[in-house]
Amino acid sequence: MNTLVSWRLGGSILRWSPVVSRLCYTYMTPGRAPRNQEKRVTRTQTDLNVRLWMEHVLAENRRDLDRLIDTLSDDAVYEIVPMKKFWRGKEEIRRFYTMLWTAIPDVKLDLISRVADDRYVVEESHVHGMHTGPLFGIPPSNREIEFDLVIYFPFKDSKIMGERLYLDVNSITSQV
């Protein structure tokens, strides 16, 4: 996550560099050369959680299973709450992703919203893709499916403790 973010605020240009944890101000005064000042920004635990969550999400989007697994604690647990299905530990979670990416090879999660604090990140997303394999015990339909999902990510010791997924199973089964 080495992206430099810039935006204008009045006559100033603000730049955020996550790599160096600095907020850089460029003051623009008409008729004068720009002058730069840097202010060290202290990262909060919430900032660190969001950054790790972003690494996790990017690894999932890139199908980089090793990087995704590295964001998790050793005793992480994935749960699909309405189905009471669990995957415990990194090896079972690897199987979860293998199943997901086989069931919906082109799966996309469109982020709707996200909230975070020092212990949790909660994501609301719209999921869609071609359902070509068994998904959480639901037989393949070879149809495009879509559903909304809320994922609760607890954090401890700068690692993701797992995911608790909330979804309407009937919205999936009604499409297959």
**What are the tens digits of pLDDT across the range 23-51?**
444 445 555 555 555 555 567 899 999 99
Do 147 and 76 belong together in one domain?
yes
- Structural domains counted in the chain: 2
Place 88 in a pLDDT band, splitting at 50, 70 and 90.
very high
Cα dihedral: 38, 116, 151, 111 (round 10): -50
Do 109 and 27 belong together in one domain?
no
Q: What is the DSSP letter of 133?
A: S
* Phi-psi group of 90: left, alpha or beta (phi > 0 → left; psi -120 to 50 → alpha; rest → beta): alpha
Do 22 and 94 belong together in one domain?
no
Cite the DSSP H helix spans in 28-154.
45-61, 65-70, 89-103
Residue 43: what pLDDT? 77
Is residue 71 a contact partner of residue 163, using CB atoms and an 8 Å limit? no
Do 68 and 153 belong together in one domain?
yes
The Cα-based distances of 20 to 35, 101, 160 in angstroms read 19, 35, 23
Do 32 and 52 belong together in one domain?
no
Closest alpha carbon to 52 in 160, 165, 162, 163: 160
Write out the residue range of the structural domain in which residue 149 sits. Answer: 45-173
Do 74 and 25 belong together in one domain?
no
Least confident window among 53-57, 69-73, 135-139: 135-139
CATH of the domain at 149: 3.10.450.50
Do 141 and 154 belong together in one domain?
yes
Least confident window among 20-29, 59-68, 125-134, 138-147: 20-29
Helices H, strands E: what count in the chain?
A: 4, 10
Do 34 and 14 belong together in one domain?
yes
Do 115 and 90 belong together in one domain?
yes
Do 31 and 62 belong together in one domain?
no
